[in-house]
Amino acid sequence: MPAVRHAVILAGGSGTRLWPASRRARPKQFLDLTPDGAGSLLALALRRARGAVDGTVVVVTAADHAAMCQAEAEAAGVAVTIVGEPTGRNTAAALGLAAVHLLHRDPDAVIGALPADQHVGDEPAMARALERAFAAAERADRICTIGLTPSRPETGFGYLELAAAPDAGLGVPGVREVARFVEKPDAATAAAYVAGGRHLWNGGMFFLRARRLADELARRLPATWAALGGVAAALAAGADADAVAAATRAAYATIPSISIDHGVMEHAEGVVTVPADVGWSDVGSWAAVAELRGASADGNVTAGAVVVRDGRGNLAITDPGRAIALVGVSDLVVVQAGDAILVVPRDRAQDVRLAVEALAQAGLDRFL
């Protein structure tokens, strides 16, 4: 019997890079950024995962967001198992916790770990990449990633450097050996990466057997794995949901905060990747939102009742029932969401954090 594929949707993000649309109470993965209301990033991730696996779709999220995740899953028509985290401890803890749950149900599980807050422009191409990544992970017991073809010299991402061999030799077409993970580069290095054709963006998607993940965690992050042992023991003892939650809280009281990339994958051996050109975006800033939506004829990207006069290159987004009028301004981000408004130049879109800091310092946390 072949191993069963399961998806782990990492939905623990709490970022404010898309403030004021994203809030502490409603992070990015819950936002619908599509022009046609196709669904939140999470809903789209759930459907994508459901199409790629025959086993369970596990969603790891903050316990506070579990009900919101459940509602998204129901709206998306995807059956899910939600694993709540008492607090955010980054992706190594989240994926480890999911692995503990999956190993309890299916010791032979193959896991695909997928962030909940990414945009994919070409879903059929992504589906093919997912199929190959799972196939590589289950046939060869390797760690597989999906490496995104870079469309620009981005300095905000880590990269995967391909080995020279044109094929990893796993019997799965299009799979390449990864020579190494490289940190976020400077602009010149990023430009060289894009020109050279041997570097792909690391999108944080990983495919491997649950057992291999457990072994890697035990070896590379022993404190993490030891802490999660209490959860595994509770599950093995047939504990009820409350007892499992209590064991999880106990584990998270001591678990270190580190990403699965830094904690495990960058040190692991035998990592392969499926290069993919799928219109991928981490939607990490309002500038990224503008790019994935595309500009109208007047050079502005708008959503909602927005008018622009004497201005180009603006991104303006407003809630239904609200209006924005821009006169004589260009290359600005103007976002109204709920009770708050952000105005920032498009080339400083990453500085939304300054707005968030300023609001916190001014005692205006209620808007975060």
Residues in touch with a second copy (CB under 8 A): 19-20, 305, 307-310, 318, 321-329, 332, 334, 336, 339-345, 348, 351-352, 354-359, 361-362, 364, 367
Q: Is the CB of 226 or the CB of 307 nearer to a second copy?
A: 307
Look up residue 162 and give its two tokens.
């391909």
**Torsion sign (Cα): 49, 117, 39, 285:** negative
Q: Is the CB of 29 or the CB of 336 nearer to a second copy?
A: 336
3-state secondary structure labels for all residues of the chain:
CCCCEEEEEEECCCCCCCCCCCECCECHHHCCCCCCCCCCHHHHHHHHHHHHCCCCEEEEEEHHHHHHHHHHHHHHCCCCEEEEECCCCHHHHHHHHHHHHHHHHCCCCEEEEEECCCEECCHHHHHHHHHHHHHHHHHHCCEEEEEECCCCCCCCCCEEEECCCCCCCCCCCCCEEEEEEECCCCHHHHHHHHHHCCEEEEEEEEEEEHHHHHHHHHHHCHHHHHHHHHHHHHHHCCCCHHHHHHHHHHHHCCCCCCCHHHHCHHHCCCEEEEEECCCEECCCCHHHHHHHHCCCCCCCEEECEEEEECCCCCEEECCCCCEEEEECCCCEEEEEECCEEEEEEHHHHHHHHHHHHHHHHCCCHHHC
Q: Is the CB of 188 or the CB of 358 nearer to a second copy?
A: 358
Nearest distance, CB of residue 367 and a second copy, angstroms: 4
Q: Is the CB of 242 or the CB of 361 nearer to a second copy?
A: 361
Evaluate whether 26 touches 340 at the Cβ level (below 8 Å): no
Look up residue 142 and give its two tokens.
């390797």
The alpha carbon of 290 is separated from its chain's Cα centroid by a whole number of angstroms, namely: 19
Nearest distance, CB of residue 249 and a second copy, angstroms: 34
Q: Is the CB of 36 or the CB of 339 nearer to a second copy?
A: 339
Q: Is the CB of 54 or the CB of 357 nearer to a second copy?
A: 357
Nearest distance, CB of residue 306 and a second copy, angstroms: 9
Nearest distance, CB of residue 273 and a second copy, angstroms: 36
Nearest distance, CB of residue 350 and a second copy, angstroms: 10
Nearest distance, CB of residue 284 and a second copy, angstroms: 16
**Smallest Cα–Cα separation from 244: which of 230, 254, 265?**
230
Q: Is the CB of 180 or the CB of 309 nearer to a second copy?
A: 309
Largest Cα–Cα separation, the chain = 68
Nearest distance, CB of residue 19 and a second copy, angstroms: 8
Look up residue 329 and give its two tokens.
């301004």
Nearest distance, CB of residue 318 and a second copy, angstroms: 7
Q: Is the CB of 139 or the CB of 322 nearer to a second copy?
A: 322
Close Cβ partners of 302 (under 8 Å, ≥ 6 residues apart): 296, 308, 314, 315, 316, 317, 324
Q: Is the CB of 4 or the CB of 307 nearer to a second copy?
A: 307
Nearest distance, CB of residue 205 and a second copy, angstroms: 32
Nearest distance, CB of residue 167 and a second copy, angstroms: 47
Q: Is the CB of 56 or the CB of 302 nearer to a second copy?
A: 302
